[in-house]
Copies of this chain bind each other. A is one copy, B any other.
Amino acid sequence: MSGVQIPSRSLKMTLGKKKFGELTKAEMPLFIDLYELTMAQGHIEMGHNVIASFDLSFRDMPDILGYILVAGLEDVVRYIESIAFEEEALRFLREMGFKESLCEYLADFKFTGDMRAVPEGTVVFQNEPIIEITAPIVEAQILETVLINQMGFQSLIATKAARIYDTVQKYGQEQSLIEFGARRAHGVEAGIKASRAAYIGGFEGTSNLAAGIMYDIPVMGTMAHSWIQSYGTEREAFESFIEIYGEASILLIDTYDTVEGAKKAKEIAQTRGVKIKGVRLDSGDLASLSKQVKAIVGDLGIYITSGLDEYKISHFLQEGGIATGFGVGSNLVTIQDIPVAEIVYKLVQVEENGKKIPSMKFSDGKRTYPGEKSIKRLVKNGKYQKDILALKGEELEGEEQLIDIYSNGKLVYELPQLETIQKKSIESIFALPESCKGIESHEPYEVEISKGINSLISTLL
């Protein structure tokens, strides 16, 4: 679609210098869809920068999910704290043909509005706002692309991690869970944020050093097939590794034949008098092999990898597979069976002359709930009973899930430690009814739409 087409092809700028793909501070606010700025300019030119409220929510939860575990707020806050349209960016916008009115506005850009959100580690359901912003419409829209971008994939990965964590709690003996998906993530940023989201969902560690450094997550690892193959024989490869790493060694035993590999690992360790940490299985019928290997290696650890996810781990455990820990990569970080969810950022209210006018979209199959919201959660004996999606200020019982993050542009929320977020997640997962946690099938958790919202919809229709 051509629309307001502005080819940047001919511009000579200091921005966009060829690099690995990371954006500089000056480029960062330009990670935005053109129409946001087109509309921003339009609103400014028309003197129509009205106060508006936007809800960020999962409009359609993927069918397989009974809940969504929210993650990503920390990056949203860091983004809002750092966003600034520097001279370089403004020069670019001017050269693209944007008017001076917009550029002047952006030169002083700062978020001045209110933001409420559910903290990371909260579970939510379809249509519940995970962030709600009330601000001049231009400000609210300039944040849109990054808000959806960060909250979407991080929440889905955290959710997938939670499903895996819950599966291990249910059928296993609390085996350790390590995320090792960096290589299959959609880039470097996606890789480290996947590690963080997995940790939020209950994982213990990551394979990736950078993620460990960025987020203080324990870093763990074993060896690759190439170590084995780089030696003439598997025996030499095992000997060399134990020579260097001693008791910390975990030997990968499936390069040639898993059962033979297990025997060799056990024998070499015994001969050397070293109690190695364990062995890793990465192919074949894992449940069956793990039992055969257990009979050989006794009390050594057995670590399982190979295309794992909640379904495969569930089958493995239910077939009596024996494991000390699971390494989970691709299916987790690419959120393989829920790669995309309808996370949307929709206008729910406009203020005109100090009067709040709720708004909704009537589009076929894409209807939204109007008005500023409240999520009331009814909790009994530490278990979630049901939610009521209500209007802000509607008098109802239940624990409010949306808390203040920004007030008049001021950050009023202290970002919690990652440990604290994980703790909250685990409590949330335990508080959910079993019926909505099934990985193969589940019952929907009850989210009641309040009288306030329903009567508002009637009025607007």
Contacts and interface: CB of A to CB of B under 8 A. Distances in A.
A330 B330 CA distance: 19
Contacts of A379: none
A248 interface: yes
B33 A229 contact: no
Contact of A209 (B37, B280, B327): B37
A225 B240 CA distance: 63
Interface residues of A, number: 141
A210 B31 contact: yes
A130 to B, nearest CB: 14
A21 interface: yes
A339 B157 CA distance: 13
A293 to B, nearest CB: 14
B15 A213 contact: yes
Interface stretch (A180-188, A266-274, A388-396): A180-188
Interface in A1-53: 1-9, 13, 15-16, 18-23, 27-28, 30-39, 41-43, 45-46, 48, 50, 52
Contact of A178 (B1, B13, B336): B1
A86 interface: no
A150 to B, nearest CB: 7
Interface centre among A209, A213, A214, A248 (most CB of B within 10 A): A209
A58 interface: no
A208 B32 contact: yes
A209 B3 contact: no
Given A42-B240, A137-B226, A183-B33, A283 B209 contact: no
Contacts of A240: 42, 46, 48
A32 B2 contact: no
Contacts of A359: 229-230
Interface centre among A6, A187, A347 (most CB of B within 10 A): A187
Given A22-B23, A23-B22, A331 B336 contact: no
Interface stretch (A115-123, A250-258, A435-443): A250-258
Given A205-B5, A229-B347, A282-B363, A20 B82 contact: yes
A105 interface: no
Contacts of A380: none
A364 interface: yes
A52 B275 CA distance: 31
A231 B186 CA distance: 38
A365 to B, nearest CB: 6
Given A183-B149, A207-B33, A257-B362, A226 B23 contact: no
Given A27-B213, A218-B8, A362-B255, A186 B188 contact: no
Contact of A52 (B41, B212, B230, B283): B230
Contact of A23 (B92, B137, B188, B325): B188
A235 to B, nearest CB: 14
A155 to B, nearest CB: 12
A256 B362 CA distance: 5
Interface string A227-260: 1011110000000110111001110001111100
B244 A20 contact: no
A363 B214 contact: no
B243 A46 contact: yes
A461 to B, nearest CB: 11
Interface string A64-106: 0000000000010011001000000000100010000000000
A54 interface: yes
A84 B343 CA distance: 39
Contacts of A205: 5
Given A184-B340, A335-B339, A1 B280 contact: yes
Given A153-B187, A189-B190, 14 more contacts: A1-B325, A5-B218, A22-B22, A27-B214, A42-B227, A52-B230, A144-B183, A149-B184, A185-B186, A225-B347, A282-B363, A283-B363, A334-B339, A336-B339
The 5 closest A-B pairs by CB, nearest first: A34-B221, A35-B221, A16-B213, A148-B183, A186-B190
22 contacts: A1-B280, A2-B325, A3-B222, A4-B222, A4-B248, A4-B250, A8-B217, A8-B219, A21-B78, A21-B189, A34-B209, A42-B241, A46-B244, A141-B226, A149-B183, A186-B190, A187-B189, A225-B346, A229-B347, A256-B362, A257-B362, A331-B340
